[in-house]
A and B are shown apart, each in its own frame.
Chain A
Amino acid sequence: MKFQFDNTMGIFFRNVLEGLLILLAVVFFTTVILLVSGAPPFAAYYHIFKGSLGSWIKLAQVIQVWIPLTLCSAGLLYTFRIGLWNIGVEGQIMLGAVFTTAVLRVDAAKGMPMLFIGLAFIAGIAGGAIWALAAGYLKTKGGVHEIFTGLGLNFVGQGIILWLIFGPWKRPGIASMSGTELFPQQLWLPLLPALRLPPVGLALALAALVLTAVLLRYTHLGLNLKAIGNNRDAAYLFGLKPDRDMIIAMIFAGGFAGLAGSLQVAGVYHRLVPAISSNYGYLALLIVMLSNYNVWITPAVAFFFACLNVGNIQLPMMLELDSSLSGVIQGSLVLAALAVYSWRSRRKAPGGTVAA
């Protein structure tokens, strides 16, 4: 977060130039991939664009994807700042979704929808935080690297969801991949009538961004996270508590991810589905890296990624291509950006190195 106004024009032009360079490299790479697979590149780009920004309805879909991506990215800023690789964010979304579903399935929920939706959000935050705490404590107390615990817990989370959908929460009659039974309409998150967007979700995502920006920039917590992330041993000698702050960072990351899971259940699917996390956690990791760990760039990158994800849905329908092209574009964007960033500066990237 560097808001300096000296030499702004120079920095601005350099950033634009670098951005163009990154985009050019990615477009070149993606075009090659499309040609290799025998698809017409321009048609593919056109469908992605038209499928994401071509109409108000599509734009609303993009924002619907943007909300969980932004929430997860905001949470990841805490863990990246302290040097943790919270790969478990994917599972944290899942557990948030599971806890939310559990609350909304209560019979009494129909009678007091507002109360139970509120409770469901709190449960979702708790669910994500619990999953994050598991990875956090295994890291601080058990000495197991958070990448492996996080990843393992993601698989476990997916297992729990499948088990619930096919076991205890199965639809009356037949259990299927389409998920649990739909909640009664009262328990659906209210939508903006024209755009089919939940204002609550939008507000929560924006609030999470502002909260994160303030906490990281203006509080002791933010300073401590940064100090520990830069040099844990020095921070410890300085009287900071790396273990405690790592747990706090994990709680924030897990809480935000859990909230994203809540919104997916209460606002988008209105039930628990197997792919409830939709890879948004992994995408959020890429988003934060591509934003160079900057709070204010994150939402813009998240928006672009959301466009790709939504626009991509056109590819199987229009061109009979697999919809994983967005992942290729997103990954190559991050790689190109990393190359350009490293060219620009020798600054040490957060996340640093890992001693497995």
Chain B
Amino acid sequence: MSELELTLVFAGVVAGAAPIVLAVLGETITEKAGVINLSLDGTILLSAMVAFAVALETNNLLMGFVFAAVVGAVVAAIVAFFSIYLNQSQVAVGFVLTLMTRDLAYFLGNSYSHLQGPQVVPFPVPLLKNIPVFGPVFFSQNLPVYFSLAMIAWCWWYMYRTPLGLQLRCVGEHPRASYARGIDPRKLQMVYSICGGLLVGLAGATFSLSVKPGWGRPQGAEGTGWIALVLVIFGGWNPIKAATGAYLFSFLQVMGIYCQEWLPTVPAQVFQVAPFPLMIFTLLVMSLAQKESVLNWAENKDRMKSILAFLSGSVPTALGKPYRPD
């Protein structure tokens, strides 16, 4: 592969990862506050459909993104409300909403299938785009991509460097303690679920207006939500690590396309489902890496220890167990 080709590959990786990064960051925020929004896969589709339909009707891309974000926020709010105020299992509600939002997207989007619609145009950053390698890979993209890059840094900074971020982590770790400190865990969990949902909605819009433009059944974003949920675990609930996972996944997707060319004898179906066994395998390795016997074995092996440390992430202690007032 020539250098130009490599640059193109990596530019494709960064562009293709943008919606996944947004979804992963959104879910990381939500889960960091102690709420699991399992509905990601359907939410992404519904917001993708809404984004495309709104952008097409109003001929205004920004409106598409805004409405998609609202859709994501509404779905997340339903999950959080059912869990926090109605005492229902987050997994149950999230799962129902996954199926329902997907069907809703197919049903309402039926008349928008296979239409030509507006698309986000590239917006190379002046000056920065001329940097060799980095310029074409990072700075000749479009606005959603820059937004996703900026959000990674912003999320990390917000979570770990601001007092509000400390509150966010606190309600996910120990809601009762935050309550004692005068913070209402229920309110914060609602707020951060909605914030996370906004980002998930934007992820959907990024699919239908940029990465996989248009609407149809299937749209092409199917399955991404589940991948994003796993990437949050892979990232150990750290926005930077989780986003790294999104780039790795995007890289594997691009590689899959090349592999199909290089290995024409392997059926296409193998490449399509390959991410999913890989996802199970990753989770298995991460789970085993935290087992006591494995940790003891690695006690005197420095390199192994650092690998294990990378693989382990701390689950927000109150994840999935919302605060109940006495």
Contact = CB atoms under 8 A, between A and B. Distances in A.
A310 to B, nearest CB: 16
Among the interface residues B93, B95, B102, B217, which one has the most CB atoms of the partner chain A within 10 A?
B95
Contact of B267 (A37, A38, A166): A166
Interface in A308-356: 321-322, 324-328, 330-332, 334-335, 338-339, 341-343, 346, 349, 351-356
B91 interface: yes
Interface stretch (A155-163, A225-233, A257-265): A155-163
Interface stretch (B107-115, B143-151, B242-250): B107-115
A286 B96 contact: yes
Please classify the interface of chain B as helix (H, G, I), strand (E, B), loop, or mixed, using the class held by over half of its residues: helix
Given A144-B284, A167-B267, A322 B107 contact: yes
B1 interface: no
Contacts, number: 156
A349 to B, nearest CB: 5
B162 interface: no
Given A142-B284, A322-B106, 17 more contacts: A33-B104, A33-B107, A138-B280, A143-B288, A148-B226, A149-B283, A152-B280, A155-B273, A159-B273, A285-B95, A321-B107, A322-B110, A325-B103, A330-B100, A331-B97, A338-B93, A353-B91
Interface stretch (B121-129, B175-183, B315-323): B315-323
B267 A328 contact: no
Contacts of B107: 33, 37, 321-322, 324-325, 327-328
Interface of B: 31, 36, 38, 78, 82, 86-93, 95-97, 99-100, 102-104, 106-111, 217, 223, 226, 229-230, 232-233, 267, 269-270, 272-273, 276-277, 279-280, 283-284, 287-288, 290-291, 315, 319-321
A138 B285 CA distance: 11
Contacts of A334: 96
Contacts of B87: 342, 346
B82 A166 contact: no
B230 A354 contact: no
B320 A356 contact: yes
B96 A289 contact: yes
B100 A149 contact: no
B280 A85 contact: no
A332 B82 CA distance: 13
Interface string A205-216: 000000000000
Nearest to B42: A331
A349 B89 contact: yes
A115 interface: no
A332 B232 CA distance: 28
A353 B93 CA distance: 11
A356 B88 contact: no
Contacts of B230: 148
Contacts of A268: none
A101 to B, nearest CB: 16
A36 interface: yes
A326 B102 CA distance: 12
Contacts of B287: 142-144
28 contacts: A33-B108, A36-B108, A37-B108, A85-B91, A85-B95, A142-B284, A143-B284, A144-B284, A145-B283, A148-B226, A148-B279, A151-B276, A166-B267, A289-B92, A321-B110, A322-B109, A322-B217, A328-B100, A328-B107, A330-B100, A331-B103, A335-B100, A338-B92, A342-B86, A342-B88, A353-B321, A354-B89, A356-B36
